[in-house]
Amino acid sequence: MKFGVSKAAELPLKLAIKEAPQHDDKGFAHAERIQKLVKNYSQFVSLPIYTWQEKGFTKEKKKKTKKVVERYWDWELTNETKPIWLRNPKDVTTEEYNEFYKKTFDEYLDPLASSHFTTEGEVKFRSILFVPATRKDDIVNTKTKNIRLYVKRVFISDDFDGELFPRYLCFIRGVVDSNDLPLNVSREILQESRIVRIMRKRLVRKAFDMILGISLSENKEDYEKFWENFGKFLKLGCIEDQSNHKRIAPLLRFFSSQSENELISLDEYVENMKPEQKDIYYIAEDSLTSARNAPFLERLLEKDFEVLFLVDLMDEVAIQNLKSYKEKNFVDISKENLDLGDKNEEKEKEIKQEFAQTCDWIKKRLGDKVARVDISSHLSSSPCVLVSGKFGWLMRSQTLGDVSSLEFMRSRRVFEINPEHPIIKNLNAASRTSPDDPEALRAIDLLFDMALISSGFTPDNPSELGGKIYEMMGSALAGKWRSAAPEVQHVPPSQSAGPQNPEAFEAEVVQPVEAGGQK
């Protein structure tokens, strides 16, 4: 097949352009434009396509003092006759895949992984998919032109909005060639076609196979790169694609109480679980430091139970959408009624009866700042903690712009106390003997404010909290060291100049005061 702009063909081509409504259609008659269109849309059609191109060669004159470029026109093969995806994968080298990837998608780094496959059955198509080594800035846009669709080797489009891949896999790149779609396929046909739905399902599975292959590779750095660039997209998949939870979950990575410097998988967590452990525990905080020092961990660390640290805003949302992994439920340790599998109901009943009056007394003092006061199932060393109800701390980040919702969340907090802590034991005695003692009531206020801070919240009035701490410190330290210090006589300012004799001055300052005030 040959076509182009020759002298013989110039006149009828110009007439066709002149009749067209667009004023700039003459540009389609340029040889370079024709060649570019052929390469873009028909590069891989089975028939060879030649375009009429101007060429030149350099010729030297007889005196060899001047070079002249002589130009001529000739037919040039513009398209490749054998696209790489039609070849047997066994005959294609890694270098050829990498070169095709970099040339097609304008990349300079080799991909992390590739997958070359053909699907048979009710729908047949060929494809090569790639996982990039880096993330482009425009990847947040689902229309990333990362998938090139061909029908019978003719390029159709690379402008998709979720038809071939869900948006959370928009970073996957590749080519798809189908013989089952019409050449004039439109966006409406893509959205409604059963063939496209089947293609999408299989493409997504192949994409997960590629990513899983990277995660299982001996070269751990490759998956670390992948997770750094694309981890948040898999978390988004937990929210948007429930049908693929089983494929996404093994690919997730988190820090934990036993792995603060290296991300671990859920499979590694489950493998490390204690025999008596039934659930997968997690805590959501804004940093590793906050998670590591959260009071909610105390009893779990005592039992050597590992806790996942969810320190990214999307971590908790992803986990809550998964709900479970390998028949292990995800449990937020910052919520009330934490069950670690070691409950002694009889003992708990005794403790609740003993501290019932104290809990009521503290609740009366705190009012609607908390929903109720309970005996803690989290603590072993701290005196108290604030835990959430069924909504969890996730609501904290979701309602920052909604004052009414934030107030509702505050009223749902549960104030838990540790009956083994000396402070709580003293308050237990105060509730019976001195319930109106100002110092006891101030201690409750201070405990609540400190529980706010340790649980990741900010007190309503930080300066007031500072005043309470200073007041308590003043009461605790009053006269503790001062009473043991020797009394020193201060020299009046009028005598600061002192006697002119240095020896007399020294005697006056150093000589101790005798009884009766006489020297």
φ/ψ (deg, to 5) at 514: -90, 165
Among residues 381, 413, 417, 397, which one has the least CA distance to residue 295?
381
Q: Please give the Cα distance from 224 to 237 (Å, whole number).
A: 19
Q: Is 92 helix (H, G, I), strand (E, B) or coil?
A: coil
User: Would you tell me how many other CB atoms lie within 10 Å of the CB of residue 19?
Assistant: 8
Among residues 385, 386, 299, 296, which one has the least CA distance to residue 333?
296
Strands 147-151 and 254-256: unpaired
Answer whether 232's CB lies under 8 Å from 312's CB.
Answer: yes
Among residues 166, 120, 109, which one has the least CA distance to residue 142?
166
User: Would you tell me how many other CB atoms lie within 10 Å of the CB of residue 359?
Assistant: 20
* Measured CA distances, 279 to 270, 274, 306, 386 (Å): 9, 10, 10, 22
Among residues 186, 182, 180, 183, which one has the least CA distance to residue 163?
186
Residues facing 73 on adjacent strands: 54
Name the strands in the sheet holding 67-77, side by side, starting at the edge strand that comes first in the sequence.
2-3, 50-60, 67-77
Strands 67-77 and 173-178: unpaired
Residues facing 67 on adjacent strands: 60
The angle subtended at Cα 385 by Cα 382 and Cα 389, nearest 5°, is 150
SS3 for 132-198 is CCCCCHHHHCCCCCCEEEEECCEEEECCCCCCCCCHHHCCCEEEEEECCCCCCCCHHHHHHCHHHHH
Q: At which residue do the structure tokens 């999307």 appear?
A: 314
Q: At which residue do the structure tokens 């009012």 appear?
A: 367
Q: Which amino acid is at 224?
A: E
Strands 414-417 and 259-264: unpaired
Q: Please give the Cα distance from 269 to 280 (Å, whole number).
A: 8
The answer to whether the annotation marks 432 as part of a ligand binding site is: no
Q: Please give the Cα distance from 340 to 152 (Å, whole number).
A: 60
Q: Please give the Cα distance from 519 to 111 (Å, whole number).
A: 92
- Known binding residues: 187
- Known binding residues for ATP: 187
